[in-house]
């Protein structure tokens, strides 16, 4: 590996040079089954023809102009996202962290301009992950992400996830609260799924208090959990929702979507992005979303998710009984298997078996397979992962 790459990642000893559907190919031409899809990015699998064609056509027509001008396919994409989410307005960014920056700026400016609060403060959750920029790492509930980057950006108060009482208690003692920001399922934190009532309770509480409810759907959004957006499992619509990972099937694009009182907060001069929502990025995202809609992949993700859950519960039944496998959880194609011990070494062992998986929070195997994974490929993933766990 080149010495000229900054050393920010512990990389596995493999380099992929080609992808097709659920498979990646390394420099020697060896094939790997991908159950991670670049961390919930390539929902349609690798090199999807519809996305590749949309990008290549747009690239040879018009790649970039500027948000100083109208961008027709950005408008089309915004209309589509608002229709799917029952929300009102979109700001496009290039990444998840930037989408969250926009959300945080909306919350702060909402505090200043609507609530007359000088030090607007957002309630966020422990074990959350919201990104690596200074404000998003400050919102993140993980000391490892923050260490060495102090002073942190102020204006965030952390409470335990899935604890409605903790949110109420903070709000009762702090007049500066303007928003509550959570992930519907904590992805990086260990695939932590809250009680079904949690998001509904936050929604009701934010309505009662006049707070903005911000849902970070950067990992859970775009059909990943078996709904277009994970908040829809709880029948709620947030005031602000952020998307990124799955939105462009690998082309970098993020979105911060607002509804109701949050839609009018950002006005000319308050926020912007050179690249955000440029014609090329929007072509990729439109092709991604249209394909998901045409192929009803929202439902496929839900069904395949159940298939994985049942498959793992069967194949790991003995290890569950023995307490070695503590939990199998998740929604749709966001699948977590929690073990009684740390298991980070499984990532390399899976690689040796030509399967790509991830371990988060040290003891949770995380699978984020493509929405186009076949039943046979799912069987293969279940068999290899179960064998790896049994061999531990
Ligand atoms: C990945 C992720 C982010 C950060 O997205 P980037 O594109 O890496 O900046 C933020 N929030 C959640 C929930 C994520 O999973």
pLDDT for residue 244: 98
Label residue 68 exposed, middle or buried (CB < 10 Å: 0-12, 13-18, 19+).
exposed
Residue 104 CA to ligand 1 centre (angstroms): 14
Residue 221 CA to ligand 1 centre (angstroms): 11
Domains of the chain, earliest start first: 51-294 (3.40.640.10), 296-371+380-392 (3.90.1150.10)
Residue 243 CA to ligand 1 centre (angstroms): 9
Atom of ligand 1 nearest to the CA of 219: 15
Per-residue pLDDT of the chain (392 residues; tens, 9 = 90+): 789 999 999 999 999 999 999 999 999 999 999 999 999 999 999 999 999 999 999 999 999 999 999 999 999 999 999 999 999 999 999 999 999 999 999 999 999 999 999 999 999 999 999 999 999 999 999 999 999 999 999 999 999 999 999 999 999 999 999 999 999 999 999 999 999 999 999 999 999 999 999 999 999 999 999 999 999 999 999 999 999 999 999 999 999 999 999 999 999 999 999 999 999 999 999 999 999 999 999 999 999 999 999 999 999 999 999 999 999 999 999 999 999 999 999 999 999 999 999 999 999 999 999 999 999 999 999 999 999 999 99
Helix (H), strand (E) at residue 173: none
pLDDT for residue 256: 98
pLDDT for residue 1: 75
pLDDT for residue 389: 97
Structure tokens given for 243 = 């998307």
The candidate with the shortest Cα–Cα distance to 37, out of 20, 55, 15, 14, is 20
Q: What are the pocket residues of ligand 1 if the criterion is a CB atom closer than 6 Å to any ligand atom? A: 95-97, 100, 129-131, 183, 187-188, 216, 218-219, 244-245
Angle at CA 26, nearest 5°, toward 22 and 30?
Answer: 80
pLDDT for residue 226: 98
Ligand 1: which of 98, 125, 142, 219 to mutate, most ligand atoms within 8 Å of CB? 219
The residues, ordered by sequence, that sit 6+ positions from 198 with a Cβ below 8 Å of its Cβ are: 162, 164, 234
pLDDT for residue 319: 97
Strand 240-243 to 121-125 pairing? unpaired
Residue 94 CA to ligand 1 centre (angstroms): 11
Residues β-bridged to residue 243: 255
Angle between helical axes of 279-294 and 72-85 (0-180°, round to 10): 40
DSSP string covering 204-273: HHHHHHTPEEEEE-TTTTTTTTSSSSGGGGGT---SEEEE-GGGGTTS--EEEEE-GGGTTS--TTS---
């Amino acid at each position: 590996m080149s010495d000229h790459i900054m050393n920010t990642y512990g990389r596995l000893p493999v380099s992929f040079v080609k992808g097709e559907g659920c498979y990646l190919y390394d420099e020697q031409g060896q094939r790997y089954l991908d159950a991670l899809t670049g961390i919930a990015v390539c929902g349609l699998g690798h090199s999807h023809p519809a996305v590749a064609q949309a990008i290549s056509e747009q690239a040879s027509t018009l790649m970039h102009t500027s948000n100083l001008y109208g961008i027709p396919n950005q408008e089309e994409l915004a209309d589509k996202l608002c229709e799917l989410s029952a929300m009102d307005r979109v700001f496009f960014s290039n990444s998840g962290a930037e989408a969250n920056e926009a959300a945080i700026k909306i919350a702060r400016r909402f505090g200043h301009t609507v609530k007359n609060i000088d030090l607007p403060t957002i309630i966020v959750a422990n074990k959350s992950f919201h990104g690596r920029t200074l404000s998003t790492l400050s919102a993140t509930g993980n000391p490892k992400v923050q260490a060495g980057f102090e002073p942190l950006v102020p204006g965030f108060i952390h409470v335990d996830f899935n604890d409605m009482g903790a949110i109420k208690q903070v709000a009762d003692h702090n007049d500066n609260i303007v928003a509550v920001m959570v992930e519907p399922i904590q992805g990086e934190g260990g695939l932590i799924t809250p009680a079904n009532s949690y998001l509904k309770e936050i929604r009701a509480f934010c309505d009662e208090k006049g707070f903005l409810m911000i849902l970070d759907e950067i990992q859970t959004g775009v059909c990943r959990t078996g709904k277009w957006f994970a908040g829809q499992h709880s029948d709620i619509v947030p005031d602000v929702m952020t998307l990124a990972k799955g939105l462009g099937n690998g082309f970098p694009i993020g979105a911060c979507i607002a509804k109701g009182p949050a839609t009018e907060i950002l006005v000319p001069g308050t926020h912007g992005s050179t690249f955000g929502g440029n014609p090329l990025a929007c072509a990729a995202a439109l092709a991604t979303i249209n394909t998901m809609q045409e192929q009803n992949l929202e439902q496929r993700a839900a069904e395949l998710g159940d298939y994985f859950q049942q498959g793992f519960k069967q194949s790991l039944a003995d290890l569950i009984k023995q307490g070695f496998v503590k939990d199998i959880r998740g929604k749709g194609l966001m699948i977590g298997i929690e073990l009684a011990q740390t298991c980070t070494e499984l990532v390399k062992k899976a690689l040796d078996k030509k399967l790509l998986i991830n371990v988060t929070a040290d003891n949770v195997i995380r699978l984020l397979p493509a929405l186009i994974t076949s039943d046979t490929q799912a069987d293969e993933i279940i068999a290899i992962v179960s064998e790896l766990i049994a061999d531990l």
